[in-house]
């Protein structure tokens, strides 16, 4: 129920024990599956909306990024400002107080609207063999990831995470983190949703083994610490494929 006693248009009512279990997993592993928190009809509507936006506005990206040790980005994207300007559904979900309240209980802190308009939202579609969102962190603390279409596990596209890590854009040390820490791998079904601590969880998607489709919607929020952070590195590849930190693929 919403705070005014009416049924929420976005979230399902969950027992406090369920939220506590999500919070425990989130703080231990940097991630929590929150599919049960989101109404099924909302998840279906978001899938249809993402398909519509991809059909009209998708742009292809194929590059490596210097600030993450030249890990690969290969996918189609719909940019944040395009989503914000053309989807009342996505923007209304992003601002939904019941959803924010539940995510704040899981995070244990307040979520602030993302201070960078180009990072509020992102739709990505991986579609070709080899497509991946290579090892990386986020500039801001929190992301709600809607897995709108997922390939079979044998084809790839799983999420891999190394929690409790730090991003130094001048020296990302990704291979050292992978050697020193266990890598947790997650497979999601189409329609699943997860909540990720993006600034301290090194993560990637396993490259696709063949042509298939993996579609996600990313919603980003900031923590209090992020509001004072000065962003470094001209690496906003989703906004501009030709940013200085981007390098062309050599394979």
CATH of the domain at 65: 2.60.120.620
195 neighbors 26 (Cβ within 8 angstroms): yes
Question: Is 244 part of any domain?
Answer: no
Residue tagged 């519509």 (tokens) = 52
**What is the residue-wise DSSP string for 42-70?**
HHHHHHHHHHHHHHHH-EEEEEEEGGGTS
- The reported pTM is 0.95
* Angstrom distance (rounded) from CA 204 to CA 135: 4
- At residue 250, the pLDDT reads 74
152 or 1: which carries more pLDDT confidence? Answer: 152
Model confidence at 7, in pLDDT bands (50, 70, 90)?
low
Comparing 219 with 4, the larger pLDDT belongs to 219
**Residue 111 in domain:** yes
Asked if the structure places residue 8 within a domain, the reply is no
Structural domain tally of the chain? Answer: 1
Average pLDDT (221-246) is: 90
- Residue 27: the pLDDT is 98
Distance CA(165)–CA(199), nearest Å, equals: 8
pLDDT of residue 158: 98
Domain annotation covers residue 237: no
pLDDT at 95: 97
Range of the domain at 100: 19-225
Condensed to tens digits (0 to 9), the pLDDT of residues 137-173 reads 999 999 999 999 999 999 999 999 999 999 999 999 9
User: What is the average pLDDT score of the chain?
Assistant: 95
Domain-located, residue 57: yes
Beta bridge partners of 194: 33, 145
pLDDT of amino acid 101 = 96
Q: What value does the mean pLDDT take over residues 19-26?
A: 97
Mean pLDDT for the stretch of residues 65-91: 97
pLDDT at 6: 60
pLDDT tens-place string over residues 168-217: 999 999 999 999 999 999 999 999 999 999 999 999 999 999 999 999 99
**pLDDT for 3 beyond 80:** no
In the prediction, which pLDDT does 251 show?
Answer: 61
Q: What is the mean pLDDT of residues 111-117?
A: 96
In a domain, residue 45? The reply is yes
- Above pLDDT 90, what percent of the chain? 90
Q: 1 pLDDT exceeds 80?
A: no
Q: Could you tell me if residue 240 is inside a domain?
A: no
Q: Let me know if residue 64 belongs to a domain.
A: yes
Looking at the predicted structure, is the pLDDT value of residue 220 above 70? yes
232: pLDDT strictly greater than 80: no
Residue 158 CB: number of other CB atoms within 10 A?
16
């Amino acid at each position: 129920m919403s705070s005014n006693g009416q049924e929420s248009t976005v979230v399902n009512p969950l027992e406090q024990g369920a939220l506590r279990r999500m919070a425990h997993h989130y703080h231990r592993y940097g991630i929590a599956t929150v599919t049960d928190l989101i109404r099924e009809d909302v998840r279906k509507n978001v899938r249809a909306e993402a398909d519509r936006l991809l059909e009209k506005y998708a742009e292809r990206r194929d590059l490596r990024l210097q600030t993450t040790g030249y890990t690969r980005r290969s996918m189609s994207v719909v940019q944040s400002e395009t989503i914000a300007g053309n989807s009342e559904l996505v923007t209304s979900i992003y601002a939904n107080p019941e959803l924010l309240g539940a995510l704040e209980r899981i995070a244990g802190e307040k979520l602030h609207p993302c201070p960078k308009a180009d990072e509020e939202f992102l739709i990505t579609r991986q579609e070709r063999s080899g497509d991946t969102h290579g090892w990386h962190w986020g500039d801001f603390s929190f992301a709600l990831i809607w897995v709108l279409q997922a390939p079979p596990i044998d084809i790839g596209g799983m999420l891999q995470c190394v929690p409790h890590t730090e991003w130094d854009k001048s020296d990302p040390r990704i291979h050292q983190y992978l050697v020193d820490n266990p890598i947790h791998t997650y497979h999601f079904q189409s329609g699943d949703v997860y909540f990720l601590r993006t600034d301290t969880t090194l993560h990637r998607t396993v490259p696709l083994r063949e042509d298939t489709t993996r579609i996600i919607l990313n919603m980003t929020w900031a923590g209090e610490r992020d509001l004072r952070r000065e962003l470094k590195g001209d690496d906003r590849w989703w906004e501009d494929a030709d940013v200085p930190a981007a390098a062309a693929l050599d394979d």
